[in-house]
């Protein structure tokens, strides 16, 4: 193989790569995926797109979580499985029922949520039992007040910190006296 052939090969690869990208770039520009015009570019100065003025495209990319908040909450709650119950504790090592929910939504997901079960019930958006989804909160009621809270896991089960001597666990909902709430 001569040196002129090997010298041409990288050049031809570059041409092929640029030809492969051309339709993609054309489609992105056609769909308007290039972002807003930057001041001083051809688009903002009124120059035609093919003119000799240099143009730069700035894309503001912000990390976006596509996972709904309630599913993030469910995942974080399930990750606490096996940690011991301790009255008044709000993690990360020990939890009571409302401390578990507070730790997940307030401390880890940075959503406003009070510390006690009944205050958490009042701070969430009330939803019908028929509309409950995994990650929503389940408040167990007595005399119009929430005395216990857990995170709905689906299929009639909740993640919760039950009582002294037990650990964070997945349990079946044991009563019909409960209401559901969604963290805003």
Residues recognised as catalytic: 97, 148, 160
Spatial CA neighbour of 183 closest among 27, 55, 25, 71? 71
Region of 20 on the Ramachandran plot (φ > 0 left; ψ -120 to 50 alpha; else beta): alpha
Q: Say how far apart CA 129 and CA 158 lie, in whole Å.
A: 13
From the CB of residue 98, how many other CB atoms can be counted at a distance below 10 Å? 28
Taking the C-alpha atoms of residue 154 and residue 142, their distance in angstroms, rounded to an integer, is 23
The CA angle 130-64-155, to the nearest 5 degrees, is: 25
**Strand, coil or helix: what is 171?**
strand
Four-CA torsion 140, 102, 85, 159, nearest 10 degrees: 60
Query: Is the CB of residue 149 less than 8 Å from the CB of residue 160?
Result: yes
């Amino acid at each position: 193989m001569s040196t002129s052939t090997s010298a041409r090969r990288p050049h031809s690869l570059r041409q092929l790569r640029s030809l492969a990208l051309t339709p993609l770039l054309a489609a992105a520009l056609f769909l308007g995926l290039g972002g807003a015009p930057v001041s001083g570019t051809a688009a903002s100065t009124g120059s035609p797109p093919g003119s000799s003025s240099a143009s730069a495209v700035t894309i503001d990319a912000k990390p976006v979580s596509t996972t709904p908040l309630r599913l993030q909450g469910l995942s974080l709650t399930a990750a606490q499985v096996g940690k011991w119950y301790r009255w008044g504790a709000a993690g990360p090592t020990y939890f009571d029922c409302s401390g578990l929910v507070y730790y997940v939504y307030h401390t880890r997901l940075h959503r406003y949520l009070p510390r006690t079960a009944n205050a958490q019930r009042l701070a969430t958006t009330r939803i019908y039992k028929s509309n409950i989804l995994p990650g929503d909160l389940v408040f167990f009621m007595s005399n119009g007040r929430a005395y216990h809270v857990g995170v709905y896991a689906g299929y009639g089960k909740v993640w919760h910190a039950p009582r002294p001597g037990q650990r964070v666990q997945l349990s079946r909902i044991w009563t019909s006296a409960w209401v559901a709430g969604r963290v805003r």
